[in-house]
Amino acid sequence: MNRASRLKGKVALVLGGSRGIGEAIVRRLAGEGSAVALTYLASPEKAAEAARTAEAEGVPALAIRADSGDPAAVKEAINQVLARFGRLDIVVVNAGILMRGTVDAFGLDDFDKMVATNIRGVFAALHFAAPHIQDGGRMITIGSNTAIRTGFAGASVYSMTKAAVAVLVRGAAIDLAPRGITVNNVQPGPTATDMTLGYREMVKPLIPLGRIGEPDEVAGLVAYLASEEAGFITGASYTIDGGYVA
C-alpha cells in the first residue's frame, strides 16, 4: 500500500501535538492520509502552524486547547473531535511534562503535577476515548525509555510515571481486545525536542549509536502502529533510543 494513503479515511487525535514529537506525529499521520486533531496548552501559534502543516497534506485538521492534566478538558477535546469529524480511529497520547529533582528534594506539589499529566492524563484519554473509538482502532501512548533505565540522578519521579504508563497499556490492551482495538506504548530515548535541551550532551555518551534521536523517527514508529499492518500488535512497549537500554 502507498504510504501516502495508508491511513486514508481515518481520524486521529494527538494529545500534545503542537511541538516536538507530537508535532512530528501530526505531520506523519496527515502525510499518510489521516484527518488530524491535536491538543495544545501553551503554544497556540505552534498548534496553529501544526494544523496548517497537516492541511497542506490535503487532510482536515483541528487544533484544540486542552490541559491533559484536567480530565474534563481531555473529555471535551474528544467531544470536539467527534463533533467535527463524526468518528475517531486513532488516539495518540503524547502530552507529558518533565520536572527533575532527587527524591529528598522533589516537592509534593510537583509530584502531583507530574502524576496528574503523565499518569492520570493518559488514563483519562484512554478512558474517555474508548467508548467512541471505532472497533479495530488504535491507541498509542508515548512513554519513555526511562521506564526501563533511569540512568542519572533526578529522574526518579518521571521514570515512575512512564513505567506506570507501560503497565497501564498492557492491561488496557486486554480490556479492549474484544473490539479489535490495539493499545501500544512507544518509549523514546533522548530526542531532539525542547524538553531535552538541558541534558542532551550529558546522555549522548550513553547512547551506542552516538546521537540523539529525531522526532520524525518516533513519528514513523507511531504511524506504523496506527496502520493496519500492526493489527496483531497490542499491549507492547517499543523502545526507540539508539541502544541506550540495550
Which residues form the domain of 37? 3-240
Asked if residue 245 belongs to a domain, the reply is no
pLDDT for the residue numbered 197: 78
pLDDT at 172: 98
Burial 120-147, CB ≥16 within 10 A → b, else e? bbbbbbbebbbeebeeebbbbbbbbbbb
* Cα separation, 100 vs 82, whole angstroms: 36
Q: Is residue 246 part of a domain?
A: no
Structural domain includes residue 100: yes
How far apart are alpha carbons 195 and 174 in whole angstroms? Answer: 32
Q: Does residue 148 fall inside a structural domain?
A: yes
CATH number at residue 230: 3.40.50.720
Residue 171 in any domain: the answer is yes
Going by C-alpha positions, the residue among 129, 127, 103 that lies closest to residue 114 is 103
Residues designated catalytic:
158
Q: In whole angstroms, what is the distance from residue 100 CA to residue 91 CA?
A: 28
The whole-angstrom distance between residue 200's C-alpha and the CA centroid of its chain comes to 20
**According to the model, what pLDDT value does residue 195 have?**
77
Grouped pLDDT means (10 residues each) for the chain, 246 residues: 84 97 98 98 95 97 97 98 98 94 96 97 98 98 96 93 98 98 97 83 91 97 98 98 96
Domain count of the chain?
1
The answer to whether residue 37 sits within a structural domain is yes
Strand order in the sheet with 61-65: 61-65, 35-40, 11-15, 90-93, 138-142, 182-188, 237-240
Confidence (pLDDT) at 194: 81
pLDDT for position 1: 57
Asked whether 122 and 172 are in contact (CB, 8 A), the reply is: no
Examine residue 113 and state whether it is found in any structural domain, yes or no. Answer: yes
Q: Given this model, what pLDDT does residue 233 score?
A: 98
